[in-house]
Amino acid sequence: MHDKILREMRTRVRIGKLAMSLHAAEEMDLDGLTVDDLKHCILTGAIVERQWDDLFVEYKYVIEGASLDPEEFIHVVAKLGKRNTVIITTYRI
């Protein structure tokens, strides 16, 4: 359903156009995740939900996939910025 969005997010991640909110960095650290875990989730996972963000007046997407550990699944909440895939938050599921 959101294939075009996910393809663009993946393209940007592959070429190093990735940005992360301070909140996402804090949550990543709290959960013992790495940037590579988040990239792997985006590159191999699927969008499971689209959410409207009233504050920024745009959509954000919940991507579900494995971390580098194939038995550990996480969510990455991200959006397409003007130039980057922007990670808003992340958490283990």
Residue type (1 letter), 17: K
pTM of the model: 0.95
Residue 92 has pLDDT above 80, yes or no: yes
Can you give the residue ranges of every domain in the chain? 3-92
CATH of the domain spanning 3-92, picked from 3.40.50.2000, 3.60.20.10, 3.30.2310.40, 3.40.50.720: 3.30.2310.40
Mean pLDDT of the chain: 97
Residue 1 has pLDDT above 80, yes or no: no
Question: Tell me, what's the pLDDT at 56?
Answer: 87
Evaluate whether 1 touches 68 at the Cβ level (below 8 Å): no
